[in-house]
């Protein structure tokens, strides 16, 4: 699964966007509590989808920073597997 963000985006930047969108979501929920509004419902749905994408990107980026690039991890795992089979 590819990242939806360029490599130049840091976890801090992603988290900042999550915080801002969460605040926006809170405002939308307040508006929705004042009366049913389909445009607010649509905005909430879109915002929730964006937040899910951001949280996933944050998890991926933190894992990448901690463990390295996915391709490198897979390469090492395959090399270990070959060594185990050879032993």
How many helices (H) and strands (E) in the chain?
Answer: 3, 0
6 lies in a domain?
no
What average pLDDT score do residues 16-43 get?
A: 95
Residue 25: pLDDT over 90: yes
For the stretch 50-59, pLDDT in tens is 999 999 999 9
Question: How far from 65 is each of 11, 17, 59, CA to CA, in Å?
Answer: 9, 19, 10
Write down the pLDDT at residue 73. 84
DSSP state of 8: T
* pLDDT on residue 6: 56
Please indicate, yes or no, if residue 71 is contained in any of the structural domains. Answer: yes
Residue 62 lies in domain:
11-86
Determine the average pLDDT of the residues in 12-24.
97
Which residue's structure tokens are 């270990």? 80
22 inside domain: yes
pLDDT of residue 7: 60
Q: Are 18 and 51 within 8 A, CB to CB?
A: yes
How many domains, in total, are found in the chain? 1
Domain-embedded: residue 47: yes
pTM: 0.72
């Amino acid at each position: 699964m590819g990242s939806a963000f360029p490599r130049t985006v840091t976890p801090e930047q992603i988290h900042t966007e999550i915080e801002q969108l969460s605040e926006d979501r809170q405002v939308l929920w307040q508006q929705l509590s004042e009366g049913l509004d389909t445009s607010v419902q649509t905005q909430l749905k879109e915002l929730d989808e964006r937040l899910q994408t951001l949280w996933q990107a944050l998890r991926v980026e933190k894992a990448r920073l901690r463990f390295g690039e996915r391709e490198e991890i897979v390469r090492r795992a395959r090399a270990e597997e070959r060594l185990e089979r050879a032993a």
